[in-house]
Amino acid sequence: MPIESVLHPSLIVPVGHVEPVPRRIRGTIGGRVVFDTRRALYVWERQAYPQFSIPVEDLVEGELHDDKHMERRGAGPAHRHTLQVGAEIRAGSAWVWGEGAPRALRDTVRFEWDALDSWLEEDEPVFVHPRSPYTRVDALRSGSSVRVELDGVVLAEAAGCVKLFETGLPTRYYLDRATVDWTRLRHSDTVTRCPYKGTTSGYWSFDGDTASHEDIAWTYDFPTVEAHRIAGLTAFYNEHVDLRVDGFLLPRAADPGRPTRHTSAPGPVS
C-alpha cells in the first residue's frame, strides 16, 4: 500500500503560540480603515491555523467599547469588546487579551474574522483566516493513476493527476475534467473559500441507487498563483469515495467536516 495513503504531515504549532507577522495588515468596514499595522501578531487559538492580533494603538477609524465580559480563549483570558467604525457597529466582535494571556499579546486585539468586510496582507486580500507560516501547500504533477468509485459506480478514471499536499490534510488528487463522468454528477450551489487556494468554482454531488452523496467533488477554475496547477481540475473527497491510486485502494480518511454553503471550509477542502 502506498505510504501516502496512510500518512501525512501533522500540525506542529501548539495552541497559545505567538509569532510576529512580517507583513503590513489592514482591515476595512464599509470602505473605512479599521486598523493599519506593521506590528501584527499571529496567535494560535486552535492548532490548525492562526488569527491576527492587532496592537490597539494601530486602530485608525475603529473604536472599541468594552462589553464588560471576560472569557478564556484559546491563548488565554480576553475581554470582549464591540467594534464601531462610524455608524457601523459590530457587537461583541473584538477580544482584547487580558492578564494570563501570553505577554506579547498585551494591548492587542483579536477581531472575529467575519466582522470585517475585508482583510489585506500588504495589498493582497486574505480570505477565511490568516495563512499559517508553518503550512505548506504543494501541487505536483504525477503519473499516478486514479480511479474514483462510489456505491459501485465509477465516477472518474485517470492515467495521471496533480497531487496536492497540504500540511495536516490527506493528499488530494486533482483530475482532468475529461476523466470525470459528468453524467453521474449533479452540480450544487455550494461555494467555499480557502486562504491558500482561493474560491471554488463548482461542487458536485452523486445520486446513487440507495443514497444521495452531497458535495463529494470540487473544482477551482481560478486558484491562487501558488496553486495554479490545480486550475480547472476536479478533486473528490478521500473521506467519502473509494479511491484507487496506482491500483491500491486507499483507506478512507477521517472526515474533518463538511463544507457549508457560501462559506469557508478551511479544514476539509484542499
- Per-residue pLDDT tens digits for 207-224: 999 999 999 999 999 999
Burial class (CB within 10 angstroms; exposed 0-12, middle 13-18, buried 19+) of 109: buried
Q: Give pLDDT, residue 267.
A: 39
3-class SS at 58?
Answer: helix
pTM for this one? 0.84
Confirm if 62 and 35 have CB atoms less than 8 A apart: yes
The band of 262, judged by pLDDT with boundaries at 50, 70 and 90, is: very low
**By percentage, how much of the chain surpasses pLDDT 70?**
91
* pLDDT for the residue numbered 182: 98
Q: Please give the grid coordinates belonging to residue 188.
A: 450544487
Tell me the average pLDDT across 145-169: 96
* pLDDT, tens digit (0-9, with 9 covering 90-100), for 59-101: 999 999 999 999 999 899 999 999 999 999 999 999 999 999 9
Beta strands in 134-210 (DSSP E): 137-142, 146-150, 153-158, 161-166, 172-175, 185-188, 193-194, 198-199, 202-207
Sorted by sequence, the CB contacts under 8 Å of residue 46 that are 6+ apart come out as 15, 74
Q: Give the pLDDT confidence of 233-251 residue by residue, as tens digits.
A: 999 999 999 999 999 999 8
* Rounded distance between C-alpha atoms, residue 105 and residue 32, angstroms: 25
> Higher model confidence: residue 87 or residue 12?
87
pLDDT at position 266 over 50 = no
Q: What mean pLDDT do residues 1-9 have?
A: 58
Tell whether the model's pLDDT for residue 3 goes beyond 60.
Answer: no
Greater confidence (101 vs 1) lies with 101
Amino acid 268: pLDDT: 43
Provide mean pLDDT across the span 88-116. Answer: 96
